[in-house]
A = this chain, B = another copy of it.
Amino acid sequence: MTAPTTGVDRASGRPVVPVRGAQRPLGQAEVRVTGGFWAGLQATNACATLEHCESWMERLGWLANFDRVAAGTSGSDRPGWSFSDSEVYKLIEAAAWEFGRTGDAAADAMVRRLTARIAPAQDADGYLNTCYGHRGRPPRYSDLETGHELYNTGHLLQAAVARLRTTGPDELVDVARRAADHVCATFGTAGLCGHPEIEVGLAELGRALGVPRYVEQARLFLDRRGHGTLRDIPLGRAYFQDDVPVREATAFRGHAVRALYLSAAAVDVGVEFGDDALVGAVARQWDHTVERRTYLTGGMGSRHQDEGFGEDWELPADRAYCESCAGVASIMVSWRLYLAIGDVKYADLIERTFYNVVATSPRSDGRAFFYANPLHQRTPGGVSDDDAVSPRAESGTRAAWFDVSCCPTNVARTLASWQAYAASAGPRELTLLQYAPARVTTTLDDGGALAIDVDTAYPADGTVTIRVAEAPAHAVALRLRVPSWAGGAVLSEGGRTRAVTPGFAVVDRPLVPGEEIRLVLPTTPRFTWPDRRIDAVRGCVAVERGPLVLCAESVDLPAGTTMDDLEIDPSVPPAQLAGHRVTVRTTDGTDVVLVPYHQWAERGPTTMRIWLPAGRPIGPSDRDSVPPVS
């Protein structure tokens, strides 16, 4: 394994590099995760998931679709949906981040191998798509509502951004540039894709290559949407956010992934053009959505029917869709808002979503995935057939691959770039947002070098120890996120210990190499009561521990009892036993073990629930809510 160095600056490897904002994102070279929870998931992603995805796409002919276009042999028998190209691009993106993170030659080879498959399929004018525009296929852009052509291209551009920011210009970047030029040439005055994604791709490729025209094209698409340009469909134009312009909307709505990709692009464009009103509009929609349309897990999307947001307070646990891809997309939006505005609440939601949606999707071996992530499984899921394609977004069973297989590659690219969301910097400050064993190094704006080593067993334990390795002589602000759940947190530094409240705990003074700063976040398991307006979980209580949402799984119930019998006595606080096991007391007086939600369904088909019916006495009034998540 050789870390790439040529042509890569220290701040490389960042998915988003805004031109301005409250915070500067740190790059992969600046945040090196050295172990812990996320390093484990990243290793599985690298060793198993990437190859797994490539092999399924080869097996199903989604890769060969490119060969056929190149060879002029495409036809009506093309396998895959119109968006299968995007899976290839997301896999390339994942491999690019992985190579950037570790220098793993296999990941680099995957990027090159896949690039060599897609490049020959590109037309001379830059158009690249295996579903439209070639022999035996419908004409280009003949179905903008559902054809996903620009959506596919958007993912190609994001893959190229990953490559450019980790390795440098190559054939993939050239392909993407030609594709972006083609989009600008074709959609300068009209046209809109039914699935937003081209916008984030154009904005970031424009930034990465220094081509303002791409960012401007993203702005055009953004302004064009919301005026009923796309035809009405049974689910309504809200499905693809063509009902109301993004500036005027009050909440994320319609298809969740579409809504969130679009919102991410709106922040990109707003920041790029100094359009604070646009950024503010998305921030308000985020507030509304996180308060009223977001699950305790951070999951978004209450409806199977349209994979979409429901109405305010419509948050059924059993039919929660909470698509893995919507978790990824939510992190994209929150990250952009955090960089623009700097509010800690965005990083709080990112943590919640990472631990309880993104980490929940892959099976522990990285070769099967949840598509939907409900908070309640009423009947045991099936037994996964790892040799079969799941025709549906089944709940309760992780599947090796899906007919619509957007989630595996989306999770893969996000896991491979986890460290990008862990820290940020200001003029003379460094902020730790997510906790993992890591070395974080950065160069402050005045040229001063700062390096720290983070040691922690988080999230199993809430103690985070920071050892200063290198620091300038002058004062710097080291800011440590204190999550919203961490009441009673304590910071020890400079020979004293003090209580710190949720938000940022700040050490603002000259740091001394060798000194230790210790943040202790209480991870005593706690009850969380729902907002009284959520009908679906009225009279229930959830248990959380640190950033982890816990759940009851049927395999852990006392013999002879079922989930239907479970009723919690909320006058007895949840207990943490040895080995990080958490138990709750039932009204029958027995104790039931809870497990982290992200671990559920790893021990055979089970039923499961996060929100547990609470018997009386029920402790706090159910009029008390715990904002912002519900």
A→B interface (CB under 8 Å) = 232-236, 303-305, 310-314, 316-319, 376, 378-379, 391-392, 403, 532-533, 535-540, 564, 611, 613, 622
* Among candidates B234, B379, B540, residue contacting A392 with C-beta atoms closer than 8 Å: B234
Contact (Cβ within 8 A) B314 A378 = yes
Q: How far is the CA of A232 from the CA of B392 in the complex (A)?
A: 11
Main secondary structure on A side of the interface with B? loop
Cβ 8 A contact of A539, one of B303, B318, B392, B622: B622
Is the CB–CB distance between B303 and A392 below 8 Å? no
Nearest neighbor of A233 in chain B, beta-carbon distance = B391
Selected contact of A403 from candidates B234, B305, B316, B564, CB within 8 Å: B234
Other A-B pairs beyond A234-B403, A236-B392, 6, CB < 8 Å: A316-B536, A533-B564, A535-B536, A535-B540, A538-B538, A539-B622
Asked if B622 and A535 sit within 8 Å, CB to CB, the answer is: no
A379 touches B319 (CB 8 A): no
A334 CA / B61 CA spacing, docked (Å): 50
Contact residues in B for A535 (Cβ distance below 8 Å):
316-318, 376, 536-537, 540, 611, 613
In the bound complex, residues from chain B placing their C-beta under 8 Å from that of A311 are 318, 378-379
**Contact between B319 and A319 (Cβ–Cβ < 8 Å)?**
yes
Alpha-carbon distance between A391 and B304 when the two chains are bound, in angstroms: 19
With CB as the reference atom, state the residue of chain B lying closest to A307. Answer: B305
Residues of B within 8 A of A564 (CB): 313, 533
A303 to B321, CA, bound (A): 13
List chain B residues, Cβ under 8 A from A536. 316, 535-536
A541 to nearest B CB, angstroms? 12
Tell me if A234 and B391 are in contact (CB < 8 A): yes
| Docked CA distance A376–B536 (Å) | 12
Q: In the docked arrangement, what's the CA distance between A433 and B311, Å?
A: 41
Identical subunits present: 2
**A232, B538: Cβ atoms closer than 8 Å:** no
Contact between B313 and A316 (Cβ–Cβ < 8 Å)? no
Cβ contacts under 8 Å, A376 to chain B: 535
Complex CA gap A509/B233 in Å reads: 63
Of the candidates B232, B233, B316, B378, the one whose C-beta lies within 8 Å of that of A316 is: B316
Provide the residues of chain B in CB contact with A304, threshold 8 Å: 303-305
Distance between Cα atoms of A316 and B532 in the complex (Å)? 16
Contact B532 A235 (CB under 8 A): no
A533 contacts across to B, CB distance below 8 A: 564
Q: Are A532 and B613 in contact (CB under 8 A)?
A: yes
- In whole angstroms, how far apart are the Cα atoms of A232 and B233 in the complex? 25
CB distance from A424 to the nearest CB of B (A): 37
Q: Chain B residues with Cβ under 8 A from A532's Cβ? A: 613
Task: Please name all residues of chain B whose beta carbon is closer than 8 Å to the beta carbon of A378 when the two chains form the complex.
Answer: 311-314
CA distance A305 to B319 in the complex (A): 11
Residues of B within 8 A of A622 (CB): 539
A235 touches which one: B232, B310, B392 (CB < 8 A)? B392
Write the nearest CB–CB distance from A199 to chain B, whole angstroms: 27
Q: Shortest Cβ distance from A621 into chain B, in angstroms?
A: 9
Q: Shortest beta-carbon distance, A415 to chain B, in Å? A: 27
Which residue on B lies nearest to A317, using beta carbons?
A: B535
Least distance between A534 CB and chain B CB atoms (Å): 11
CA distance A319 to B564 in the complex (A): 22
14 inter-chain pairs at a CB distance below 8 angstroms, sorted by A residue, are: A235-B392, A236-B391, A303-B304, A303-B305, A310-B318, A311-B318, A311-B378, A313-B378, A316-B535, A533-B564, A535-B536, A535-B611, A535-B613, A538-B538
Which 3 A-B pairs rank lowest in CB-CB distance, beginning with the nearest? A539-B539, A538-B539, A305-B305
- Provide the bound-state CA to CA distance between A232 and B394, in Å: 14
**Nearest neighbor of A302 in chain B, beta-carbon distance:** B319
Residue of B nearest to A538 (CB): B539
Nearest CB on B from A374, distance (A)? 11
Residue pair A316, B319 in contact (C-beta under 8 Å): yes
In the bound assembly, the distance between CA atoms of A533 and B622 in angstroms comes to 19
Whole-angstrom distance between the Cβ of A614 and the nearest chain B Cβ: 10
Min CB–CB distance A568 → chain B (angstroms): 13
Query: Are A303 and B318 in contact, CB atoms less than 8 angstroms apart?
Result: no
Instruction: State in angstroms the CA–CA spacing of A540 and B391 once bound together.
Output: 37
Q: How far is the CA of A255 from the CA of B341 in the complex (A)?
A: 47
Say how far A569's CB is from chain B's closest CB, in angstroms: 14
Q: How far is the CA of A303 from the CA of B536 in the complex (A)?
A: 15
Pick the most buried of A235, A533, A535, A540: most chain B CB atoms within 10 A of its CB: A535
Residues of B within 8 A of A317 (CB): 535
A540 to B: closest C-beta gap in Å: 7
A18 to chain B, nearest CB (A): 35
Closest B residue, CB atoms, query A321: B305
In the bound assembly, the distance between CA atoms of A152 and B486 in angstroms comes to 62
The closest CB in chain B to the CB of A312 belongs to B378
Residues of B within 8 A of A235 (CB): 392
Cα A232 to Cα B389 with chains together (Å) = 13
